[in-house]
Structure 1
Amino acid sequence: MTAMFRSAAVRLAQHSLAVAAAAGFALFACAAQATTVERVVSPKGIEAWLVEEQAVPLVAMNFAFRGGAAQDPPEKPGVANLLSGMLDEGAGDLPSEAFQARLDDLSVELSFSAGREAFFGTLRTLVETRDEAFSLLKRAITVPRFDDEPLARMKDAVTTGIRAASTDPDSLASQALAAAMFPGHPYGRPIEGTERTVAAITRDDLELFRRAAFARSNLRIVVVGAIDAKTLGPLLDATFGDLPENPFLRPVPDVKPADAGLVEVAFSTPQAVIRFAGNGLERHDPDFMPAFVANHILGGAGFSSRLYAEVREKRGLAYSVGTGLATFDHAAAFFGGTATRADRGDEALTLIETEIRRLASEGPTEAELDQAKHYLIGSFALRFDTSSRIASQLLAFSLDGLGIDYVEHRNDLVAAVTIEDVRRAARRVFEAGPAVVVRVGPKPS
């Protein structure tokens, strides 16, 4: 359901550290409120959020440069994505095999991925190899090689993925939804690009993107693990300090989901894959949290949503069905989806649209509101049960501009939502219903 909003990494480096992480890197299996986040500012002014935990000698860092696939040249979508696969394919004086071997020798996990509005990186390292791990990261983001052989290999890998997606109804539905929602806009282009555009990307395209997007002022960093602020500050400068101060990003216009109606994509499958979307609320809209609660009641996680009850439990139309809220820097939407037997697609879609409008017109019951708030508050701590998840979650908060203390207050914000708040937000988001519906399956007779 959420494929169109997910980052599309070409590959993730997998090293022995991943085994160590899975076995023993669950440092913070505690309530989210117990996580202490410290702001660290390096001598050169590079800021990071730090969660220090000395119990296990490991360090995890997640970082992002604002300016993801939306910064691809309009005629060449796929540049950011291809770049994410190339940065660990050799840097400085180390060609691809030597760079990868050094990562393996040090038990370092280094990976990159491209989202629509940010370019992401992760680093996982043992404390004893920390300095060299950060040095390898510095080389990757400042002096990548982009040699011919790994470039051709990564292009082949991306192209193979694109071809595979063209035979997958879920991928087709997600791509069609993005294109219908945002026609002619960077958000509507495929993050991975197309076979044609990937083939046309050159090393100069990759370098131009890197130089334009990788800068200190649009960098967000979260570090979790066995490192203190005094050590982290100089390490940030050593790693990121040679980057330019400011990026050179293309302007991205504000946009609302287009009123595209029903989009049919013919595909030979016994199921109809359905995706839908409509206008949403910006992340800093005062009604966003009430809308978040309303969405949970309608089609959120768990087994108590209205759509789950009506579509799956009562009628057995689908195995799963759900909705979500998406916020970008220049757009906001609600979205959702399901898959059902092709001959029952119209029935499922009518039922979903009816429930969306019923929530908008009637609002929830007090019991539904209490149940939703209890779930959302109780499950929040599960986002912080490992160092990697803490780093990822805090980075998302940082990119959303929510503040370093948001983790301490988030549950209070949920608890404060009233039934009047939810009714108002539900009307704002769901009253108009979906603006676009995509159905992938057998061609209607």
Structure 2
Amino acid sequence: MHFYPFSDDRGAVDIPVHVIVHEHLRTAALCLGVAYGSRDDPATAGGLAHMLEHVLMSSPRRGTFGVAEQVEWLGGEANAQTGLETMLFTAHVQEQYLNEVLGSLTQAVLRPRWDKAYVEQERGAVQQELAAMQADPSETVQDAFLARLFGAHPLGRPVGGTLPEVSSMSMEQIASVHETVFLPAPMVLCVVAPRPPEGLSAGERSLRPRPDNAHLPEPLAPRERTGVVWPEEFAWVCVGGRAVPAGHPGAAAFQVLSTLLGDSPSSLLYQRLRRDGSLAYMFQSWYRGYAEAGAWRTMIGLEPENGPAAVDVVLGALEELAGAGPKPEQLGAAVRKTTTSLLQESEGPLDLAKLTSSRVIAARGPWSLSGETAALNEVTVDDVRRAAALVLEAPQIEVRPAVAE
């Protein structure tokens, strides 16, 4: 085990590091994961985490380049993403630039240079990003679904916030949250490269504990199918419910449930939505686990006249799985498909770095690819039955574009 000792005149931070050495590689990938996300935004400043992400990657450290542009000039790629509970800062470069980029990325994230001109520049970029997302029903339906699923709980807030919130937050407010909430959060660095980077220290470092700000969402009431109002144009619908939190022993069953009701030709929904009923062409299902609870959903793009029948198909398939469970051959195919997807996600250096960082942050401790694949292969028919039954305890339905009810 290693850690990355970062220190300057403002103090020291030891970041646990997972080094994955593949000697055949000619590139190196880095991912700095931080257990901080939109759920940590101030009550009146939704979207601050997303705004912070933009500023950290774009504001210049020295001269005129931010870290994202610096990495691009070196021929690589750099990016960042903000979720409900996690931020990931990534870079992928030729291996000879590994040490340089590691230093630049950690400096940019931990010790940014605050400049109002660059904050305003990124505010404009974020406003344009939000405007584009709010014009896309496939994006707004997901925010609406999570808002219904989690209500006033922080998990129900949109990651990007709203245009008024982004417009009103000040540089001083962003800098204060970075200092008081972001920097104390648990962090982990994953490096996938042909050799370890320089500057690491040998020794064990655990993730810092996350502040105990968790509280359970309020109980949900099921939303009636007949309460859905369909628009006149092409629509997106989310159907799903709450699931187990991250790290729960039953999480693997929800991953398998997503495959059983996914867009693969072997899934129940493919057979009923596309092949038998010609109700929809675009659909997918997925599970996300968070600190207090999880979310499982299917998202479908369809013509509105197909909407009621498609919702009935999804809920009917869930009821079938909650009752008798999948047939053994269906379960076996779904487990193999889910495992293959996980293994494919781990085969690229950058994907593996992101996967490892995000999983360690979510688990708040050790994680291994072999452990997750073993958990998937241990999922039983009864595990899937319980997962489907939990979703059906209070199923929720959201449609966009929305029309007045």
Normalising by structure 2, report the TM-score: 0.86
- Change over 3 Å in CA distance of 1:349–1:52 after alignment to 2: same
Q: 1:144 aligns with which of 103, 112, 115?
A: 112
Q: Can you list the C-alpha shifts for 1:268-298, whole angstroms capped at 9, x where unaligned? A: x52231112212122333333334333422x
**In structure 2, what is the Cα distance between the partners aligned to 1:341 and 1:102?**
45
* Number of the residue aligned with 1:227: 195
2:353 paired with 1:388? no
Aligned length: 394
Over aligned residue pairs, what C-alpha RMSD do you find? 3.1
- Equivalent pair of 2:35/2:210 in contact (CA under 8 Å): no
CA contact (8 A) 2:253 2:387 kept: yes
Q: Are 1:307 and 2:269 matched, yes or no?
A: yes
Match of 1:324 among 271, 278, 286: 286
Q: Taking structure 1 as the reference length, what is the TM-score of the superposition?
A: 0.79
Alignment of 1:268-307 (within 5 A): 270-297=233-260, 299-307=261-269
1:94 alignment partner AA: G
Give unpaired runs (5+ residues) of structure 2: 6-12
Q: Which one of the candidate residues 333, 342, 347 is aligned to 2:295?
A: 333
Per the alignment, residue 79 of structure 1 pairs with 48
Q: SS of the counterpart of 2:315?
A: helix
Matches within 5 A, 1:158-173: 158-173=126-141
Question: Mean alpha-carbon deviation: is it higher for 302-311 or for 365-374?
Answer: 365-374
Q: Which residue of 2 aligns with 1:7?
A: none
For residue 372 of structure 1, the aligned residue among 305, 312, 334 is: 334
Q: Partners of 1:260 and 1:162 in 2: how far apart?
A: 30
What is residue 65 of structure 1 aligned with on the other side?
Answer: 34
Query: Shift of the alpha carbon at 1:165?
Result: 2.3
Deviation digits for residues 398-436 of structure 1, max 9, x if unmatched? 123286563123333333333344334433x244361x2
Query: Counterpart amino acid of 1:201?
Result: M
Contact 2:263/2:270 (<8 A) preserved: no
> Contact between 2:30 and 2:102, CA under 8 Å: does it hold in 1?
no
Q: Which runs of 5+ in 1 are unaligned?
A: 1-38
Contact 2:58 2:68 in 1 (8 A): yes
% identity of equivalent residues: 20
User: In the aligned structure 2, how far is the partner of 1:73 from the partner of 1:252?
Assistant: 15
Quote the offset at 1:301 in angstroms.
4.8
What pairs up with 1:38-437 in 2 under 5 angstroms? 39-42=1-4, 45-95=14-64, 97=65, 102-215=70-183, 218-228=186-196, 231=198, 233-234=200-201, 251-255=213-217, 258-259=220-221, 261=223, 270-297=233-260, 299-401=261-363, 404=366, 406-427=368-389, 429-432=390-393, 434=395, 436-437=396-397
Whole-angstrom CA distance in 2 between matches of 1:363 and 1:248: 37
SS, match of residue 148 in structure 2: helix
Q: CA deviation at 1:322?
A: 3.2
How many Å separate the matches in 2 of 1:40 and 1:187?
Answer: 33
Measure, in 2, the Cα distance between the counterparts of 1:186 and 1:69. Answer: 8
The one-letter amino acid of 1:208's match is S
CA distance in 1 between counterparts of 2:372 and 2:354 reads 16
AA partner of residue 344 (structure 1): N
